[in-house]
Each structure stands twice: as C-alpha cells, then as structure tokens.
Amino acid sequence: MGSRPDKITRSPYWNRTGPLPRHIASHKIPIDRISRNAIRVVESLRKANYETYLVGGCVRDLLLGLDPKDFDVATSATPEEVKKVFPRARLIGRRFRIVHVRMGREIIEVSTFRKQVDHGNVSNNGGHESRDGVLVRDNVYGNIDEDAFRRDFTVNALYYDPAKKTVLDFVNGMQDLDSRTLRLIGNPKVRYREDPVRILRAIRLAAKLDFSLEKKTEKAISPGGRSLNAISPARLFDELNKVFMSGTAQQAFALLQKFKLVEVLFPISSDSADLVTAALQSTDRRIAQGKPVTPAFIIAALLWNQYQSQSIAHKNAANPQENPIDIAQTVIKDQQSTIAIPKRHAFFIRDVWHLQTRLERRNPRSIYPLLEHRRFRAAYDFLLLRVRNAEVEPALGQWWTEIQTLGPDEQQDRIRALSSHRKRRRRRPKSETP
C-alpha cells in the first residue's frame, strides 16, 4: 500500500519549493469534445475535497485537435478513497493500482498522484524493482508535481482543469507538442530500464502522432531493446496489440526494424518483409475504413515463413508424423515464450495457415464448405497477400475473387469446369494395340 497523499486543502502543489507549473489558458481545447462523464468524475472527486484533473493522452489529443479514445483522471485520492466516492467502481492492477469508474458504457480510468521510485529505497511505501532495475510495483503516492515528473513523455504529462479551462504544464510538454517532439522525462536509459515497455510506447506514439523522437530518447532505444525480454509475454502482447491496431502499424513496424527490435520480439520470424508489409498496409487500410481487424493477421504473416519451412522439412522427412495443424501449433508455441498469443488468436492463425493449402488445391467437393468456413475471408485475404508477394499465381487469387461474386448457377458452372479440367489432367493415354 502506498503512502497517503495530501488532500487538496493541504496540497504542497500550491506552496512547495519544487517546480511550479505553467498555467496555460491560451490553448485550443474544445469543451464539446471532452467526455461529460469524465468531467462528472472530476467534479465528484473535487466535491469530496480531492485535487483532480484530466491527464495524459486525452489532454494531448485534445490539444492536437484529435478525438480521444478514452479519458484518464489523476487525483490526490487513493484508490480506496476513489471507491468511496464511486462505490460501484473497480480497483484493478498490481504494479500500478488504478480505479475504473463506469459511467453508462464509458469507463473513466482514475489514478492516484504518484512519485518517482526512490532507487535507494525501492521497497518503501509500495515501490519495488527487480535486480535489473525494472519496476514491478509502483504504488508510491505523491503530489501533482511529483506525478508529472514520473510520467513517461512530456506530451503525456499535461493536466487539464475543466473548471478553470487551463492546462498545467510542469515539464515543457506544450513546447514539445508544438514542435511535434516525443521526449522522455528524465534520463532515457534509466526510464527505459525501469519499464522497457516504454520503448514500444515511444515507437507507437511517434508513428501514430507523426512526431520526431528527441535525440536522447531515440539513442537509448536500441541498447535498451534486449530488456524487453524481462517483460512478461502477456504484457508484451498487450502493448504490441496497441502498436498493430493503431492505424499506423506500417510506420511503427518500420521503426521496430530500424531499432532491430523485430528479432527481439519475434525471434523465430524469418525474412518475410514484403508479406508483413502487405499485412500491415491491409490492416491500416481496414482501420481507416472502419472495418474489423485483428493482430493475429499480422502475426500470421510474421511467422508464415517459419511455418512454411517446418512444413517442408516435415514433408521431406523419412517418417513424417506431424500434420499441418500440429506444425502450426508448434510454431505458435515457440513464439509464445516471447509474446503470449491468446487462444482465440492462435486458433485464427492456425486456421488461416491450414486453409492456404485447401485454397491452392481447389478440390471441387470442398469449394462450398470453404466458402462457408468462418475463417474463409481471412484466409482469402492472406492468399491475396501471398499473390502480391509472388508466392502464388495471380490466376488463383483471381479465381477465388470471382467465385464469390457469382450467382449459384454460375458458381456451379465454374466448379464443373474445374472438375472437367482436373479429369482431363488425370486421363492417361491408351496403350496402342500390336
């Protein structure tokens, strides 16, 4: 449990000798873009005498003229005190305890002001780090200025007061926002070591916002990349999911390649750059169009060559024992040691890979079952990527494209033609009579 923060009536924010914030009123935050539920949470906590603000990505996006996906609140109230104000709220998290306040269908995330862990006494007041300096628990409560300096990037350390309509800036975040610069607060080497996931966040945000990485922030990425192995596979998947589903996955992946992080995150992935690029482009395009997407599609592309290699090795073996499904599961299991892949995504990847052979063979008896298969569309899209990558003849992709647009009678005619073609290929020449 962390130390108790001060309430607003005693907050050192107003009288401490530390850094004072810039109160910026000349911003362009449209009030109508702010969630009314988020404002209600702020007002309720302030009414209970707690210092409270909107904070982080929502403030950043509002200042950039973007619509925030969610709204975060920072307060002097402890998680337990927040729950007293909102009895139906949920306390979640181990490393970083926060509160989810549900307002209708919207969830407002509320966190307590925290301060940077004292590395000389990390076990004090709920702080703890591993031997490698990675923070595994961070419940050291503090005040708003301390909270600002423990956040990751300057542009994420901006606080908004909806009552006074002012932005509070302790770390020159507004300046970096104006110059479109992503800068870590503090020593980048230390901050990446504390939480290596910040490396992936830096890459995701730089790509998403089209920001330049500040020189020191960028320079420390590659040396810190190996520390990602200290992060749990489940947490790495969660962060990569954000990268792949950001709508700018292609740009983010280019940065992952630049800093040689692909081989850290996907050690069994072999050279399939063109296929992966096509998968990234397809995903970004579908997100822009408002269509459903899944990170499993990109992971399937990343691991495709490994699956192909193992399948070929199996076919050439003297006594092959594994079937394609088993091979797929082996490849996925090998990747799981680095990045956890949820079962639903693992099944998706397995099915998409397995269906490639069936799509290539075009067995007349299997056409209709294939068209009705729940993974057909994903497998078909993957086949088209392979066509673009020159792995498959364009005619095959064209055939499957056309068969989906035909009516029942025309489909039957096309399948009969396929059957006739297969019979002609199998016919053997008659032996001549003496």
Looking at per-residue pLDDT, the higher value among 271 and 188 belongs to 188
Cα four-point dihedral sign 195, 262, 180, 290: negative
pLDDT in tens, 181-226: 999 999 999 999 999 999 999 999 999 999 999 999 999 999 988 8
Listing DSSP states for 206-256 in one string gives HHHHTPEEPHHHHHTHHHHGGGGGGS-HHHHHHHHHHHHTSS-HHHHHHHH
Looking at per-residue pLDDT, the higher value among 2 and 398 belongs to 398
pLDDT in tens, 11-70: 333 334 455 567 777 677 888 899 999 999 999 999 999 999 999 999 999 999 999 999
Tell me how far the alpha carbon of residue 7 is from its chain's centroid.
Answer: 35
Looking at per-residue pLDDT, the higher value among 256 and 28 belongs to 256
pLDDT at 418: 84
pLDDT in tens, 314-344: 777 655 656 778 899 999 999 999 999 999 9
pLDDT in tens, 132-185: 545 445 568 999 999 999 999 999 999 999 999 999 999 999 999 999 999 999
The domains located in the chain, with CATH, are: 1-179 (3.30.460.10), 262-419 (1.10.3090.10)
What percentage of the chain reaches a pLDDT higher than 90? Answer: 73
Give the separation between CA 174 and CA 162, rounded to whole angstroms. 17
Which of 58-72, 205-219, 378-392, 406-420 comes out lowest in average pLDDT? 406-420
Which residues are catalytically annotated? 70, 72, 152
Give the pTM.
Answer: 0.84
pLDDT at 9: 35
Backbone angles phi, psi at 167, to 5 degrees: -105, 135
Closest CA to 266 of 287, 294, 243, 284: 243
